[in-house]
Amino acid sequence: MAEKWANVDDYISSFPEETQAALQGMRRAIHDAVPGGQEKISYQIPTVTVNGKTVVHFAGWATHVSLYPIPGGDAGFERELAPYRAGRGTLKFPLGQPIPYDLIGRAAAQLAAR
C-alpha cells in the first residue's frame, strides 16, 4: 500500500536531497504563478487548488519530477513544453539537469487561468 502523507512538507521530506530541492523549486514556482493557491495531498501527490478547484499536481520520482496536467498554449509555448512531454498529461523534468522553473510557473499560470 502506498504511503500516505499528512501534508506537502511530509511528502517532500520523504525524498532524497536532490529530489527535495527540485520539488521545493517547483512548489515555489507554482505558488509564485498561482496567487492564493492552497496545498493538499490528492492522489498521494502534492496538489495546488484555488477556491477548492484543482489547478496542478506535482510529484517526485526516482529519476525525475513531474507536473500534471499539461496546459494548452500557443505554438511557441507548446515547443517549449515538447522536450518534457511524457504521455498525454505529464511533463517530466529529469533530475541532474537544470529544472526549468520559469516554464513550470508559466504552465501553472496557464492551468490556473482555465
Domains and CATH numbers, the chain: 8-113 (3.90.1150.200)
The number of residues in the chain equals: 114
Give whichever of 1-10, 51-60, 71-80 has the largest mean pLDDT. Answer: 51-60
What's residue 1's pLDDT? 38
In percent, the amount of the chain with pLDDT more than 70 equals 97
pLDDT of residue 60: 97
The whole-angstrom separation of Cα 65 and Cα 93 is 5
Over residues 22-31, the pLDDT tens digits come to 999 999 999 9
Distance, CA of 71 to CA of 73 (rounded, Å): 7
pLDDT digits (tens, 9 = 90+) for 65-87: 999 999 988 899 999 999 999 98
